[in-house]
Amino acid sequence: MIATQAKLVYQLNKYYNERCQARKAAIAKTIREVCKVVSDVLKEVEVQEPRFISSLSEIDARYEGMEVISPNEFEVVLYLNQMGVFNFVDDGSLPGCAVLKLSDGRKRSMSLWVEFITASGYLSARKIRSRFQTLVAQAVDKCSYRDVVKMVADTSEVKLRIRERYVVQITPAFKCTGIWPRSAAQWPMPHIPWPGPNRVAEVKAEGFNLLSKECYSLTGKQSSAESDAWVLQFSEAENRLLMGGCRKKCLSVLKTLRDRHLELPGQPLNNYHMKTLLLYECEKHPRETDWDESCLGDRLNGILLQLISCLQCRRCPHYFLPNLDLFQGKPHSALEAAAKQTWRLAREILTNAKSLDKL
């Protein structure tokens, strides 16, 4: 048994050093290329409208605010200033979303975003995005990369297609620190020892983002009040939880397997599903020793089996917001196809570690 385990870990490390590192290098190169174009477009936007200041910056060869959705799809989060006069309200009526409401009607004129406040005092995510979309469309025509970049039509999101190969979504957002959403109040579960009180305090201090984008739970039934809502996002908190042990390496292997074998019609699976299941696996295996390099094979198998179970039940709860189903709106046939393909992959890895050479 131990010999089989050791063989799997050896093969996974080989896979990581060859396939995963090659994927990382290719994506890093793409990001540099994409960020040049996006920065240029955002510079033009800023000239027209100084309230939309580009927050895309390179720190230690990484771009802050850049999320990789897949090797050809990215999201840039554009942080807006001055949320100050608004209260954050999440009463759970819109899973995964919250609203920003004027703390005092008399402060309306003090807000930097006054023309985006609705009659009932909410700062409208949709109105801000609509204005931003107009500005980006104008900037695309003016910027020095106008030959290689164009807006993606037929969406209320702000999306650019670059060199006909890459799609980048630019999402206006507010950073919320020092508060924690009520809809995530059940985290951490009292009976689960991971991640421990110190890490929990760090994560909660890190806070979350409010994004202006279409919400999972609202697809197809948006009333005007709902489309004023902001989407909760916890990427910094999640990244902080995945520090230490072989967690990041495990995520890298999962992303590479997804990119190579689970990019399926109907797009049932993205890298965020992998990240979510890895966080649940951390709860199931709370001890740091469970995340030694020697356990990489066990953890990976556990996550793949959990993924199959989620696909078969057609439900994948968000890690911090369990009422939000990350499979909502995905075609059932796509989820079934993904379950079968994940099962084939898991069986292959479990029964023959050397098959990783071909995967």
Taken in order of first residue, the domains within the chain and their CATH numbers are 1-358 (3.30.460.90)
pLDDT of residue 118 exceeding 60, the answer is: yes
Give the bridge partners for 57, in sequence order: 64
Is 97 in contact with 88 (CB distance < 8 Å)? no
At 110 the pLDDT is 79
Residue 107 binned pLDDT confidence (cut-offs 50, 70, 90): confident
Q: Which tens digit of pLDDT belongs to each residue from 256-313? A: 999 999 999 999 999 999 999 999 999 999 999 999 999 999 999 999 999 999 999 9
Residues ≥6 apart with Cβ < 8 Å to 307: 269, 273, 274, 277, 342
User: Comparing 39 with 109, which gets the higher pLDDT?
Assistant: 39
- The CA angle 34-41-45, to the nearest 5 degrees, is 150
Residue 162 binned pLDDT confidence (cut-offs 50, 70, 90): very high
User: How many alpha carbons fall within 13 Å on the CB side of residue 278?
Assistant: 24
pLDDT of residue 221 exceeding 60, the answer is: no
At 54 the pLDDT is 86
Average pLDDT over residues 155-162: 94
- Convert 97-123 to b/e letters by CB count within 10 Å (16 or more is b): bbbbbbeeeeeeeebebeebbbeebbb
pLDDT of residue 224 exceeding 60, the answer is: no
Give the pTM.
0.93
User: Comparing 64 with 233, which gets the higher pLDDT?
Assistant: 233
Average pLDDT taken over every residue of the chain: 91
Say what percent of the chain tops pLDDT 90.
Answer: 77
Closest CA to 287 of 191, 195, 188, 190: 195
Average pLDDT over residues 116-122: 91
